[in-house]
Amino acid sequence: MDILIIKPGFQKGVFGDLDDFELTAIEPPLWGAILAGYLRKLGYGVGMVDLEIDPLPDRINAPLVMISVSGHNPSASTIYMDETIRLADVIKQQNPEVKIIVHGIHPSALPAQIVIEPNIDFVCQGEGFETLPALINMLREEGEIGSLPGLWYNPKGVFRIIGPNPPPLLDLSLLPMPAWDLLPMAKYRDHNWHCFDDIQNRSPYVAIYTSLGCPYNCSFCNTNSLFGKSGIRYRPVSAVIDEIDFLVKNYGIRNIKIADELFCLKEDRVVAICDQIIERGYDLNMWAYARIDTITILMLEKMKKAGFNLVSYGIESGSKRVLQQTHKQYNPNLVMNVVKMTRDAGLIPQGNFIFGLPEDDFDSMQQTLEMAFTTETEWPNFYVAMAYPGSRLYTETDPSVLPVKWSGYSQYSYDCQPLPTKYLPPADVLAFRDYAFHAYFENPRYLDMMQDKFGSDIVNHIKDMTKIKLKRKLLGD
């Protein structure tokens, strides 16, 4: 084996008591699987371990371990960094000769800060398609580590060797299928809200990419730090369909997340993918991300026929003033039309809302909550604004107000610490978010709607969920 790719496991630390109730999804390490498939295609020996599910091997014999800390949303890399550093320490205690490289959104955003950790040998900045093969070859030759594209190296904390950051891989037809066979596919678990029509069957579950990157530059998002710049690249439609065929036939997959930053962008492409899925007659339960201002009726109609049952919209705020400051340019007046259009097509519209963006005050946060009540989606996500490393907010924020620990960036953790706004301290923002969550999910009108759509089992599931009160250090819990 040339490289062992490890996903750190820290569900309890990230999600707190929510993990005890199995509210959260357990998603496969998609970027790790992509790189494993790519390296294996080049002839390298690759292994994978997902510590969310399986234990760390007693002995690691691979010369190189890659800790993969990329997730499927802006927060999913940073919140695992404390555990990543601890994991590197454990691996080095087990076998000091093993070299450790970390890869993901957060390491790409702050490579100089991460590479000085005493038990982290390298940081891979960027996607890794050039960096990892070159590093494996260099380690095989047992020579001096030289300048490699995207590689940060800090031997004994003395100096750094930094190669030029490689450009993104433009031709995604060069990517083979992710190495799904190296993972415990039967054990991954879908989100509860994506399975309200069949909540006992949340496994198996998978996330796939049909494209990489995002053409937009919202100030609160850091996902493009992995790619080096904004932009979107597409996998061949045939490759996407081949992967879905493989997952359905080999693992009985029904629950699928399209993990693209923005699946619903080009109508002709969405239609082409959906038409081929429709031809196969699969019984799928899929969901994807969309923007309010890029969705179309034809997309929604085709998606429903193909097996999409939910579309997740980044609504973010009910205040046009707040939205403009984030560089997310769309008219909030479009929201209700899009919600109706989505429901008319037979899909569930999910709304994502952020409290505590820089221009927020109590009135604008109340506007956002009122928009959530007006849209009356089956499952809104309520977040607090965070200056995630790699985002524009991070570079514009005074470091003194950022979380002290990486786990402080977790939305549900005990030490969660949102940004202050121009008008409000972090504690007020966090208290409003937690109030909004219970106000929405304990609302009798909402519960009656869920009773009519999904029955008493789901209503009881939601009531059990709202009995959990998140403990917050910032709020004196």
Under the banding of pLDDT at 50, 70 and 90, the label for residue 11 is low
CATH 3.30.420.40 fits 190-385+421-475, yes or no: no
Q: What integer pLDDT is reported at residue 208 of this predicted model?
A: 98
| pLDDT greater than 70 at residue 114 | yes
Q: Determine the 3-state secondary structure of 152 from DSSP.
A: strand
Sequence-ordered alpha helix ranges (H) in 7-65: 11-15, 30-41
CATH of 3-162, one of 1.10.10.10, 2.40.110.10, 3.40.50.2300, 3.40.50.720: 3.40.50.2300
Q: Determine the 3-state secondary structure of 209 from DSSP.
A: coil
Q: Which residue has the tokens 């690249």?
A: 233
Count Cβ atoms below 10 Å from residue 384 Cβ, excluding itself.
20
As a whole-number percent, the residues of the chain with pLDDT over 90 amount to 84
Chain segment 183-206, per-residue pLDDT in tens: 999 999 999 999 999 999 999 999
| pLDDT greater than 80 at residue 21 | no
Q: What is the mean pLDDT of residues 108-129?
A: 94
Q: What is the mean pLDDT of residues 30-43?
A: 98
Extract the tokens encoding 100. Answer: 């450790």
Average pLDDT, the chain: 93
Under the banding of pLDDT at 50, 70 and 90, the label for residue 13 is very low
Region class of 249: left (phi > 0), else alpha (psi between -120 and 50), else beta: alpha
Q: What is the mean pLDDT of residues 202-213?
A: 96
Complete edge-to-edge strand list for the sheet that includes strand 122-124: 46-50, 3-7, 64-68, 99-103, 122-124, 151-153, 161-162
| pLDDT greater than 80 at residue 17 | no
Question: Which of 19-28, 81-90, 153-162, 378-387 is predicted with the least confidence, judged by mean pLDDT?
Answer: 153-162
Q: Determine the 3-state secondary structure of 326 from DSSP.
A: coil
- Domain range list for the chain: 3-162, 190-385+421-475
The answer to pTM > 0.85 is yes
How do beta strands 348-355 and 381-384 pair?
Answer: parallel
Chain segment 276-294, per-residue pLDDT in tens: 999 999 999 999 999 999 9
Q: What integer pLDDT is reported at residue 106 of this predicted model?
A: 94
Under the banding of pLDDT at 50, 70 and 90, the label for residue 157 is low
| pLDDT greater than 70 at residue 19 | no
Q: What is the mean pLDDT of residues 443-456?
A: 97
Chain segment 69-85, per-residue pLDDT in tens: 987 677 778 999 999 99
| pLDDT greater than 80 at residue 163 | no
Q: What integer pLDDT is reported at residue 242 of this predicted model?
A: 98
Q: What integer pLDDT is reported at residue 147 of this predicted model?
A: 83
Chain segment 304-315, per-residue pLDDT in tens: 999 999 999 999
Residues 218, 220, 226, 229, CA torsion sign = positive
Q: Which residue has the tokens 């709607």?
A: 449
Chain segment 326-383, per-residue pLDDT in tens: 888 788 889 999 999 999 999 999 999 999 999 999 999 999 999 999 999 999 999 9
| pLDDT greater than 50 at residue 241 | yes
Q: What integer pLDDT is reported at residue 145 of this predicted model?
A: 83
Task: Confirm if 88 and 108 have CB atoms less than 8 A apart.
Answer: no
Using a 10 angstrom Cβ sphere, with 0-12 exposed, 13-18 middle and 19 or more buried, the burial of residue 318 is buried
Interatomic CA distance for residues 377 and 8, integer angstroms: 33
Q: What are phi and psi of 247, to 5 degrees?
A: -65, -40
Question: Which of 28-37, 150-159, 277-286, 353-362 is predicted with the least confidence, judged by mean pLDDT?
Answer: 150-159
Count Cβ atoms below 10 Å from residue 354 Cβ, excluding itself.
26
